[in-house]
Amino acid sequence: MVVRGIAASDGIGIGKAVCIREETYTFSDAQFAGKEKEKERLEEGIASFTEETKKLAEKIRKSSGEKEADILLGHITMLHDPFMLSQMQENIETGRCAENAVDAVCTMYADMFAAVEDELMRQRAADVRDIKARLLAILSGKAPIDLSRLPKDSVLVAKELTPSMTVELQTENVSAILTEQGGKTSHSAILARGLELPAVLGVAGITETVKEGEGLIVDGTEGMAILSPDTKTTAQYRKKQEKAREEKKQLSVYRDRPTKDADGQRYEVFANIGSPKEAEQAVQNGAEGIGLFRTEFLFMDRSSLPSEEEQYDAYAEVARYMKGKKVVIRTLDVGGDKEIPYLSMGKEENPFLGYRAIRYCLSHKEQFRVQLRAILRAGAIHGNLCIMLPFITSVEEIREAKALLEVCKKELRNEGKAFDEKISVGIMTETPASVLLAELLAKEADFFSIGTNDLTQYILAADRGNPKVEYLYDECHPAVLRGIQKVIEAAKKAGIPVAMCGAAAAEAKLIPLFLAWGLEEFSVTPSDILPTRKRISSWRKSDAKAAEKEAMGLSTGAGIAGYLTGVLKNRE
Ligand code: PEP
Ligand code: MG
């Protein structure tokens, strides 16, 4: 039997099911020992919980990393939320025992979070359920589920993978994870990836379907699992597993190497990140710098603008983490599909052609100033920060932003605050206007970074998020490729660096074209760094140029894609 779910963590795991069923605790208000006593028990329970969680977080920090530890530490903050606490105490006031108070309040919060559309909110439901289970285990004096002694080749089957479960997990005995709940960006997925275990999440009813000890194959790359596979299928998957392991091993060789093509020419592969924490993942994956920090994520998931200090802390954290390597910070790219409710930008007929990115910032200079000051100040730490302006369509926009930057520098000078006087200011080339004006913009900007995600949608007039026009959205379209080529050529002629931070930078078949045109900086999601470095290393400039000549002589996107795919196949 084959079941499908969300491909949350890459790889293939083969083993036997170990089903984690939720522990049920029995308690009743009949055990109520008086208001004061129950409140005392609750307080003691919370104190033990806090103590235990800190220890678990320390353990997970060592085994998985900062991000995973922070998820657990977040549980302490949640449980200490004054509102949640007072609701538990109020429950006790009405004659309920501490366990019932915890159960009632946590269940209410978990249900409330689970009902929200937002993925991040739904993650909180999982966190609250984890808090509830552990706090109830403490209050009932029961040991939590022991995952430290699992048999070899266990496939963990659970309602959800909770942060506390992952700490106890002996990963060498676990071959995969299969759960009922959790999305691609859920905490369960982050944790599974942190543990480097294949995982398929969101398989409805799987804890009921699978029998304890049943044979299982979990394909975390494809997002499917096979229950009770026959020997032939198992053998096939073992082969696949071996191949994937081999590929991974080969890639790890590239982690600490500089990026070079087969002729020995140097390139750089940077990371795209959305938060300071992702810088850690970038470094672990061998990033030579940060080519795009999408700062809009600092503005999301909150109810008011982040202050200069908050922004400074975030940029400084990345700067320190990257230890002098280049970090490109993109100023707020709001609008389009990136909505920030508290900015009240109003509804627009065509948000992608509307009030977004640099347009919004230049008409809210007070807000823009805060971000520019924070970046300038964080730039003083290693002098390695660069400012990148998104969605540029004219020379005036660059001039206006740079004038504001000078105002900020003057202010900081007067205030006696340290900042980077020589910070470079580049632009995203992601609009047709920026391609057509590339020569002129290169005189105003210190560098270019090609945003192929937007450039493709604007050149082809095909919304990047609309499935109905997905067939038109094509990075191999000759118009898009000519646009990219023109931008690279203009930058080279002007002697300014040019990078690419759109998804095309990680597209294997396009690499020979980029190399032929002289692109030297690629910025990709952290997991694409090593594959991109490997791909670049396999090309000689002469071969790349020959492939480019042939490809650019073709007149359709399908023709170009087909030809380049064939070239890659022949080289395997
Ligand atoms: C792009 O447009 O290619 C880009 C990198 O920016 P974003 O995906 O954030 O719009
Ligand atoms: Mg963009």
Task: Say which ligand is closest to the CA of 465.
Answer: 1
Q: How far is CA 97 from CA 37, 110, 379, 440, in A?
A: 9, 20, 55, 73
Token pair for 145: 């589920």
Catalytic residue numbers?
187, 501
E strand intervals along 305-417: 327-330, 385-389
Please give the distance, rounded to the nearest whole angstrom, from the Cα atom of residue 60 to the centre of ligand 2: 35
Token pair for 355: 């009030």
Task: Say which ligand is closest to the CA of 506.
Answer: 1
Kindly report the number of other CB atoms within 10 A of residue 136's CB atom.
22
Domain segments of the chain: what residues?
A: 24-140, 154-250, 262-571
Pairing verdict, β 215-219 and 12-20: antiparallel
- Identity of residue 35: K
Residue with tokens 């347009």: 359
Give the span between the Cα atoms of 409 and 233, in whole angstroms. Answer: 65
Q: At what angle do helices 276-284 and 308-322 cross, to 10 degrees?
A: 10
Give the span between the Cα atoms of 277 and 298, in whole angstroms. Answer: 12
Output the 3-class SS for 66-100. HHHHHHHHHHHHHHCCHHHHHHHHHHHHCCCCHHH
Residue identifier of the C-alpha nearest atom 3 of ligand 1: 451
Residue identifier of the C-alpha nearest atom 1 of ligand 1: 451
All residues with CB under 5 Å from ion ligand 2 = 430, 451, 454
Predicted pLDDT of residue 142: 72
Chain centroid to Cα 200, Å, comes to 18
First to last CA, the chain: 34
User: Which burial class, exposed, middle or buried, applies to 353 when counting CB atoms under 10 A from its CB (0-12, 13-18, 19+)?
Assistant: exposed
Contact 449, 427 (CB under 8 A): yes
User: Ligand 1: which atom is nearest the Cα of residue 390?
Assistant: 6
Token pair for 174: 């676990």
Token pair for 541: 């400039």
Pocket of ligand 1 (CB under 6 A): 292, 294, 333, 430, 451-454, 501-502
389 forms beta bridges with 427
Residue identifier of the C-alpha nearest atom 8 of ligand 1: 453
Residue with tokens 């002129």: 440
Where helices occur in 379-429 by DSSP H, the ranges are 395-415
196 forms beta bridges with none
User: Ligand 1: which atom is nearest the Cα of residue 449?
Assistant: 5
Q: How far is CA 150 from CA 17, 24, 172, 517, in A?
A: 11, 21, 10, 54
Length of the chain: 572
Contact 226, 2 (CB under 8 A): yes
Token pair for 180: 């009922």
Kindly report the number of other CB atoms within 10 A of residue 570's CB atom.
7
Mutate to test the pocket of ligand 1, among 501, 521, 525 (most ligand atoms within 8 A of CB): 501
User: Ligand 1: which atom is nearest the Cα of residue 501?
Assistant: 5
Domain 154-250, CATH: 3.50.30.10
Please give the distance, rounded to the nearest whole angstrom, from the Cα atom of residue 431 to the centre of ligand 2: 9
pLDDT digit string (tens) for 270-279?
A: 999 988 888 9
Domain 24-140, classified CATH 1.20.140.10, yes or no: no
22-34 per-residue burial string, b: 16 or more CB within 10 A, e: under 16: eeeeebeeeeeee
Kindly report the number of other CB atoms within 10 A of residue 222's CB atom.
13
Task: Say which ligand is closest to the CA of 504.
Answer: 1
Torsion of the alpha carbons at 549, 555, 561 and 562, rounded to the nearest 10: -90
Q: How far is CA 448 from CA 318, 359, 495, in A?
A: 21, 18, 11
Note the pTM of the prediction, 2 decimals.
0.69
Name the DSSP class of 256: T
pLDDT of the chain, 572 residues: tens digit per residue: 999 998 888 889 999 999 987 666 778 888 888 999 999 999 999 998 898 888 888 877 777 777 778 888 888 988 888 888 899 999 999 999 999 999 999 999 888 888 876 667 777 888 888 888 888 888 888 766 667 788 899 999 998 887 777 777 778 899 999 999 876 656 677 777 777 799 999 899 999 999 999 999 999 988 999 999 999 999 999 999 999 888 888 899 999 999 999 999 999 999 999 888 889 889 989 999 999 999 998 998 788 999 999 999 999 999 999 999 999 999 999 988 778 889 888 889 999 999 999 999 999 999 999 999 999 999 999 889 999 999 999 999 999 999 999 999 999 999 999 999 999 999 999 999 999 999 999 999 999 999 999 999 999 999 887 778 889 999 999 999 999 999 999 999 999 999 999 999 999 999 999 999 999 999 998 888 999 999 999 999 999 999 999 999 999 999 999 999 999 999 88
Give the span between the Cα atoms of 556 and 562, in whole angstroms. Answer: 10
Report the half-sphere exposure of 60 (CA within 13 A, side-chain side). 27
Task: Say which ligand is closest to the CA of 294.
Answer: 1
- DSSP secondary structure string for all residues of 154-168: EEEEES---HHHHHH
Nearest to residue 527, comparing CAs of 506, 496, 554? 506
Residue identifier of the C-alpha nearest atom 4 of ligand 1: 451
Task: Please give the CATH architecture assigned to the domain spanning 262-571.
Answer: Alpha-Beta Barrel (3.20)
Residue identifier of the C-alpha nearest atom 9 of ligand 1: 294
User: Ligand 1: which atom is nearest the Cα of residue 503?
Assistant: 3
Chain centroid to Cα 232, Å, comes to 37
Mutate to test the pocket of ligand 1, among 392, 454, 487, 507 (most ligand atoms within 8 A of CB): 454
Give the span between the Cα atoms of 188 and 177, in whole angstroms. Answer: 10
Token pair for 413: 């000078």
Give the span between the Cα atoms of 268 and 261, in whole angstroms. Answer: 11
Residue with tokens 């952290």: 526
Residue identifier of the C-alpha nearest atom 6 of ligand 1: 451
Give the span between the Cα atoms of 20 and 212, in whole angstroms. Answer: 9
∠ Cα 272 242 533 (to 5°): 30
Contact 374, 368 (CB under 8 A): no
Order across the sheet with 6-9: list the strands: 2-4, 224-227, 215-219, 12-20, 154-158, 174-179, 199-201, 6-9
Predicted pLDDT of residue 144: 63
- Identity of residue 472: L
Kindly report the number of other CB atoms within 10 A of residue 257's CB atom.
12
User: Which burial class, exposed, middle or buried, applies to 155 when counting CB atoms under 10 A from its CB (0-12, 13-18, 19+)?
Assistant: buried
pLDDT digit string (tens) for 91-116?
A: 999 999 999 999 999 999 888 888 87
Predicted pLDDT of residue 114: 81
Residue identifier of the C-alpha nearest atom 7 of ligand 1: 453
Please give the distance, rounded to the nearest whole angstrom, from the Cα atom of residue 45 to the centre of ligand 2: 48
E strand intervals along 299-358: 327-330
User: Ligand 1: which atom is nearest the Cα of residue 453?
Assistant: 3
Predicted pLDDT of residue 184: 63
Please give the distance, rounded to the nearest whole angstrom, from the Cα atom of residue 390 to the centre of ligand 2: 7
